[in-house]
Amino acid sequence: MKITSLADLRKIKAEVQEKIKLREYGENAENIVQIKVAMATCGIAAGAKEIMGYLIEELDFQGIDAVVTQTGCMGYCYAEPTIEVILPGKAPVVYGFVSREKAKEIIDEYIVKGEMVDGVIPVNYKTIDE
Amino acid sequence: MADYKMHILVCGGTGCRASQSEQIADNFKKELELQGLQNEIKVVTTGCFGFCEKGPVVKIVPDNTFYTEVSPTDVKDIVSEHLIKGRPLKRLLYYNPKNFYHVASTSNIDFYKKQVRVALRNCGFINPEVIDEYIARDGYSALGTVLSEMTPEEAIQIVKDSGLRGRGGGGFPTGLKWEITRASQNDQKYVVCNADEGDPGAFMDRSILEGDPHSVIEAMAICGYCIGANKGLVYIRAEYPLAISRLKVAIAQAQEYGLLGDDIMGTGFNFDIELRYGAGAFVCGEETALIHSMEGCRGEPTFKPPFPSVSGYLGKPTNVNNVETFANIPVIFNKGAAWFSSIGSEKSKGTKVFALAGKVNNVGLVEVPMGTTLREVIFDIGGGIRNGKRFKAVQTGGPSGGCLTEKHLDTPIDYDNLIAAGSMMGSGGMIVLDEDDCMVSIAKFYLEFTLDESCGKCTPCRIGNKRLYEILDKITRGEGTPDDLTRLRQLANVIKDTSLCGLGQTSPNPVLSTLDNFWNEYEAHVVDQRCPAGQCKSLLHYEIDPLKCTGCTVCFRNCPVGAISGEKKLPHSINQSLCIKCGVCHDKCKFKAISIV
């Protein structure tokens, strides 16, 4: 394959950028949407893996720059799958009982429009950082 | 194409490879396959992350989790804990010795906090053997823009405006060099990349070539267009097999994409690159010697002028730039000259990569803006001196440079400040010395190196350095006299003034700078017959303090020459005529009863 013009190069760049998108997101995670999916045994059993896959797909489909990562057990084993959503500059919000439909709602309402969605698990503990 | 949700970046630099990083990458691939995750998680071998002290390093994105000192057997745990269950594996995270916390993300590690990565922008980020990843990071777009939208004069003006100066040591303005070579009229011109990195302990250029070879190729092509050359040569030392192989892969990929060769990107510009191997002679980093070596002649320097920009390789105008200089070029075009010149100090723009080595906690490759102080580099990024010892000096500029002391710690690092402080930027080696290092021995070490590397063409360098070395050797043996110190300085100045090339002209620098900054230490050697750092064996002896000695017999049993005698539970003593001063007894004594006098 030969690159025969600058336009050609730019086209290839757009195509291959996908390949390293994850790494660029990782470098500036604070400035984009971050979602952490609780992926302990309880989460996996409740279908967290499928939800994670769906989140990645849907965010990609809608063209939203977001980092979706796994995390350990958040302690809300009764409410799995749980996900934590961090919008840039905002406090983290944890959602419980996230099904595919709920995940779609979170993306459409909270992430896109910034409107709160039912199902938030309030923070009721302290960490050593506080 | 598989839809990956995670990338595992495994460092494939020489340092990490030496501690089995290839095996780590292989194990990851096998383990992922075993867990059925090979289509979700991708393993990428990258260039150097710079944190060689803690290698092999593995970074997981997009979580940005940074694992240090990973061994091939740790892979299973990382996969089962982190990749499957989302729990970072605490025992492999970077441990911050200052606050006793484990740190997961690179952005929270002190080593990376103050760094600005321009020349190293892709090292540890892309797979250097995949051209697509370089293109995805704006690769070759600078070349494309220059070729299709700029005249050579306009492009040279951008390089001049950026204020970029040669990173090989001299600090000559790069844009000006290009302009001079462009002005030389000839039917054939050459672009040469100087990858003959020879300073002891320096590995900046190697890491750039290993981690981001395309940036150098792209820059050489831009340079070729600017000066009117269609041929590029990389002079690289044969001791860098990994850099050579990555460079070869990169050149082949660029040729396949038509980014090297004839009619690049349809603009009618032709450019190709060949490699020339050096046999590892230090003097061949000097551009005239380098050119002779490439021509197949002896690697000896010749008098300048004529400068290579007028008459260089095969007598044709030749533009020689260093690897790191080239690595900065594509960014300057992509982000603009104003962006580049906004980084750095007044007369030194941009960043500089340093190979931090010696008695510092975080050995590795660091890139900081010009004007950063030595203190920030050594104490904030480098994490301070090993084992809580005291900082004594830092040697910059390799065998041509000098030693800087505590009083220079707050000097902003740039070309002019370092020269004013009696050292030089050099190619970027930075060797940290602590209270246990003897400065006379350090000067002797560097002189031994230049002595070995002197080509022997001119008398001051060949014979003068030998005599200089002999005087230093005499001092470290305890036979020096105060007259020797005067002679040392005189001879050093003569060598400096009369040598033919840069190697000879700068070879006495370590001697002169240690004389200036550590006169007391020299004096202690010749007047008191004492080595304050306890390094010069002829000047010291070991003694057992009878009050502290418990007669445990450990020293007696460990002494390799049987110089220690004494009854059990009674103080021991050392027979000085048998002692070879190996220091084993001193290290083994649990009661600190043995002292160096």
Residues B184 and B208 in one domain: yes
Which residue pairs, CB below 8 angstroms and at least 24 apart, start in B547-553?
A: B547/B571, B548/B591, B548/B592, B548/B593, B549/B591, B549/B593, B550/B591, B550/B593, B552/B590, B552/B591
Two structure tokens written together for B431: 């060797």
**Single-letter code of the amino acid located at B147:** L
Element (H, E) at B143: helix B141-149
Closest to A22 (Cβ–Cβ): which among B7, B84, B148?
Answer: B7
Decide which of B399, B434, B469 is a domain's last residue.
Answer: B434
Residue with tokens 């020096």: B480
* Mean pLDDT rounded to a whole number for chain A: 85
Closest to B136 (Cβ–Cβ): which among A4, A17, A40?
Answer: A17
Residues B501 and B553 in one domain: no
Residue A130 pLDDT level (bands cut at 50, 70, 90):
low
Residues B382 and B313 in one domain: no
Distance of alpha carbon B78 from its chain centroid, rounded?
A: 31
How many of the other CB atoms lie within 10 Å of CB of B551? 16
Two structure tokens written together for B477: 């043996």
Distance of alpha carbon B511 from its chain centroid, rounded?
A: 21
Residues B146 and B254 in one domain: yes
**Is the Cβ of A77 closer than 8 Å to some Cβ of chain B?**
no
- A5 lies in a domain? no
Nearest to B193 by CA among B39, B88, B313, B68: B313
How many of the other CB atoms lie within 10 Å of CB of B296? 7
Residues B477 and B564 in one domain: no
Closest to A9 (Cβ–Cβ): which among B125, B126, B265?
Answer: B265
pLDDT score recorded for residue B457: 87
Q: Hey, are the CB atoms on A9 and B141 less than 8 Å from each other?
A: yes
- B313 lies in a domain? yes
Contact status, residue B23 vs residue B71, Cβ threshold 8 Å: no
Closest to B266 (Cβ–Cβ): which among A4, A13, A25?
Answer: A4
* Helix boundaries (H) for chain A: 6-27, 41-45, 48-61, 100-105
- A50 lies in a domain? yes
Q: Hey, are the CB atoms on B62 and A3 less than 8 Å from each other?
A: no
Nearest to B426 by CA among B512, B291, B324, B342: B324
- B446 lies in a domain? yes
Using CB atoms within 10 Å of the CB of residue B211, give its burial: 0 to 12 exposed, 13 to 18 middle, 19+ buried. buried
Nearest to B370 by CA among B433, B428, B431, B432: B428
pLDDT score recorded for residue A89: 84
> CATH number for the domain including B138?
3.40.50.11540
Mean pLDDT of A45-73: 88
Contacts of residue A61 in chain B, CB cutoff 8 Å?
none
- B363 lies in a domain? yes
**Is the Cβ of A62 closer than 8 Å to some Cβ of chain B?**
no
> Using the 8-state DSSP alphabet, how is residue B307 labeled?
P
pLDDT score recorded for residue B1: 39
Report the gap between the CA of A42 and the closest CA in chain B (Å): 10
Contact status, residue B592 vs residue B554, Cβ threshold 8 Å: no
Contacts of residue A17 in chain B, CB cutoff 8 Å?
136
Contacts of residue A29 in chain B, CB cutoff 8 Å?
62, 64
> CATH number for the domain including A48?
3.40.30.10
Contacts of residue A25 in chain B, CB cutoff 8 Å?
61-62
- B387 lies in a domain? yes
Residue with tokens 């302009």: B179
> CATH number for the domain including B412?
3.10.20.600
Domain count along chain A: 1
Inter-axis angle of helices B174-183 and B213-227, nearest 10: 40
- B298 lies in a domain? yes
Residues B264 and B297 in one domain: yes
- A86 lies in a domain? yes
pLDDT score recorded for residue A124: 66
**Is the Cβ of A127 closer than 8 Å to some Cβ of chain B?**
no
**Distances from the Cα of B241 to the Cαs of A84, B130, B206, B368, B568, in angstroms?**
47, 18, 10, 28, 56
Q: Hey, are the CB atoms on B7 and A23 less than 8 Å from each other?
A: yes
- A128 lies in a domain? no
Q: Hey, are the CB atoms on A29 and B125 less than 8 Å from each other?
A: no
- A2 lies in a domain? no
- B157 lies in a domain? yes
Nearest-Cα residue of chain A relative to residue B264:
A4
**Is the Cβ of A123 closer than 8 Å to some Cβ of chain B?**
no
**3-state class of B362 per DSSP?**
coil
Q: Hey, are the CB atoms on A25 and B62 less than 8 Å from each other?
A: yes
Contacts of residue A23 in chain B, CB cutoff 8 Å?
7, 9, 61-62, 125
Residues B228 and B141 in one domain: yes
First to last CA, chain A: 56
> CATH number for the domain including B587?
3.30.70.20
Element (H, E) at A36: strand A33-38
Nearest to A94 by CA among A76, A66, A55, A120: A120
pLDDT score recorded for residue A83: 92
Decide which of B476, B498, B526 is a domain's last residue.
Answer: B526
Q: Hey, are the CB atoms on B132 and A12 less than 8 Å from each other?
A: yes
Q: Hey, are the CB atoms on B61 and A16 less than 8 Å from each other?
A: no
- A23 lies in a domain? no
Residues B192 and B277 in one domain: yes
Q: Hey, are the CB atoms on B257 and A68 less than 8 Å from each other?
A: no
Return the half-sphere exposure (C-beta side, CA atoms, 13 A cut-off) of residue A97.
6
**Single-letter code of the amino acid located at A67:** V
Domain count along chain B: 5
Residues B29 and B147 in one domain: no
Decide which of B315, B340, B365 is a domain's last residue.
Answer: B340
Two structure tokens written together for B161: 């405006």
Nearest to B478 by CA among B428, B420, B552, B528: B528
Report the gap between the CA of B118 and the closest CA in chain A (Å): 15
- A130 lies in a domain? no
CA A69/CA B494 separation, integer angstroms: 65
- B115 lies in a domain? no
Listed in sequence order, the residues at least 6 apart from A80 whose beta carbon sits closer than 8 Å to its beta carbon are: A38, A42, A43, A45, A46, A48, A96, A97
**Is the Cβ of A129 closer than 8 Å to some Cβ of chain B?**
no
pLDDT score recorded for residue B178: 96
> Using the 8-state DSSP alphabet, how is residue B398 labeled?
G
CA B80/CA A39 separation, integer angstroms: 12
> CATH number for the domain including B486?
1.20.1440.230
Closest to A23 (Cβ–Cβ): which among B61, B86, B148?
Answer: B61
User: A61-95 pLDDT, tens per residue?
Assistant: 888 888 888 888 888 888 889 999 999 888 889 99
Report the gap between the CA of A106 and the closest CA in chain B (Å): 20
The boundaries of the domain holding residue B96 are 6-108
Q: Hey, are the CB atoms on B141 and A29 less than 8 Å from each other?
A: no
Two structure tokens written together for A114: 């910034």
Distance of alpha carbon B55 from its chain centroid, rounded?
A: 16
Report the gap between the CA of A118 and the closest CA in chain B (Å): 26
Mean pLDDT of A94-109: 91
Contacts of residue A53 in chain B, CB cutoff 8 Å?
5
Strands (E) located in B175-279: 190-195, 231-237, 272-278
Query: What's the average pLDDT block by block, 10 residues per block, for chain B (597 residues)?
Result: 79 92 94 90 92 90 89 93 85 84 81 90 93 93 94 96 90 94 95 91 91 96 96 94 95 95 94 93 90 92 90 94 96 95 92 93 92 93 91 90 91 90 86 92 92 90 95 92 93 94 90 93 90 85 89 91 90 90 89 86
**3-state class of B546 per DSSP?**
coil
In DSSP terms, A67 is beta-bridged to: A34
Please name the residues between 326 and 365 in chain B that touch chain A, using a CB distance below 8 Å: none
**Is the Cβ of A55 closer than 8 Å to some Cβ of chain B?**
no
> DSSP string covering B313-357, please?
GGGS-EEEEEHHHHHHHHHHHHH-HHHHHTSB-SSSBSEEEEEEE
User: B228-256 pLDDT, tens per residue?
Assistant: 999 999 999 999 999 999 999 999 999 99
Closest to B136 (Cβ–Cβ): which among A19, A57, A67?
Answer: A19
**3-state class of B586 per DSSP?**
helix
The boundaries of the domain holding residue A90 are 30-121
**What dihedral do alpha carbons B100, B104, B107, B110 form, nearest 10°?**
30
- A40 lies in a domain? yes
Residues B60 and B95 in one domain: yes
Q: Hey, are the CB atoms on A6 and B3 less than 8 Å from each other?
A: no
Residues B511 and B546 in one domain: no
- B417 lies in a domain? yes
CA B260/CA B436 separation, integer angstroms: 52
**Single-letter code of the amino acid located at B466:** K
Element (H, E) at B66: strand B65-67
**Is the Cβ of B90 closer than 8 Å to some Cβ of chain A?**
no
CA B222/CA B140 separation, integer angstroms: 10
Closest to A9 (Cβ–Cβ): which among B9, B83, B135?
Answer: B135
Residues B325 and B213 in one domain: yes
**3-state class of B102 per DSSP?**
strand
